[in-house]
Chain A
């Protein structure tokens, strides 16, 4: 069974640009969550999608947005990039919304110059 796939693995952008990250969950998993990981803040929850609807949201500005498609694949978008957005962005999938084990992808390393 294939794991969670995130693309691209690495990305370099400049301030002010926007970026879209992609996540393909494990087959059969309906929930996709996104996290930002930095050395200083650790893993911080961005948002969770289930059945194409955002079910939960962390404390991030509106520049961070996402969506989920009917096949459960998800995309995350960051507009007007700032230097502080440099981080490892992790996607996790689980069978259902709550109480289930999350399986993580390898992440997308975003560098903002």
Chain B
């Protein structure tokens, strides 16, 4: 069964303290892996899409990487405004009617 697991569930960092969030997945064939950011009371906001192992994408203080079994979201020198829940989602490429499966998210809190 397709599965997406994110760790840790919650992470508290000091401003400027770099870290990484993990997303491990089990799908029959990966069509794409997505990272989203969700602020309280809002819908998820798209960050990155990764399609193949070895691919990397960067945006400001965020960098997403992908291997055959997991993805990492690296946060470099975070600021308080980076506090949010970060969601990982995978799209199974095993059939024509592929679904997108979300992980439960990592709640990131950055202290000033």
Q: Are A56 and B44 in contact (CB under 8 A)?
A: no
Query: SS class of chain A's interface: helix, strand, loop or mixed?
Result: strand
Q: Which residues of A contact B43 (CB under 8 A)?
A: 4, 90, 92, 104-107
Q: How far is the CA of A99 from the CA of B90 in the complex (A)?
A: 10
Using known A-B contacts A43-B102, A106-B42, determine if residue A101 contacts B34 with beta carbons closer than 8 Å.
yes
Q: Are B102 and A104 in contact (CB under 8 A)?
A: no
Let me know if A102 is at the binding interface, CB within 8 A. Answer: yes
Number of interface residues, chain B, beta carbon within 8 A? 26
Q: Which residues of A contact B97 (CB under 8 A)?
A: 55-56
A56, closest chain B residue (CB):
B97
Q: How far is the CA of A90 from the CA of B89 in the complex (A)?
A: 15
Let me know if B69 is at the binding interface, CB within 8 A. Answer: no
Let me know if B110 is at the binding interface, CB within 8 A. Answer: no
Q: How far is the CA of A92 from the CA of B103 in the complex (A)?
A: 17
Residues on A lying within 8 angstroms of B by beta carbon are 4, 33, 35, 42-45, 48, 55-56, 58, 90, 92, 98-99, 101-107
Residues on B lying within 8 angstroms of A by beta carbon are 31-32, 34, 36, 41-46, 49, 51, 87, 89, 91, 93, 96-105
**What are 25 A-B contacts with C-beta separation under 8 Å?**
A42-B102, A42-B104, A45-B99, A45-B101, A48-B99, A56-B97, A58-B99, A98-B31, A98-B91, A98-B96, A98-B98, A99-B31, A99-B32, A99-B91, A101-B34, A102-B34, A102-B46, A102-B100, A104-B36, A104-B44, A104-B45, A106-B41, A106-B42, A106-B43, A107-B43
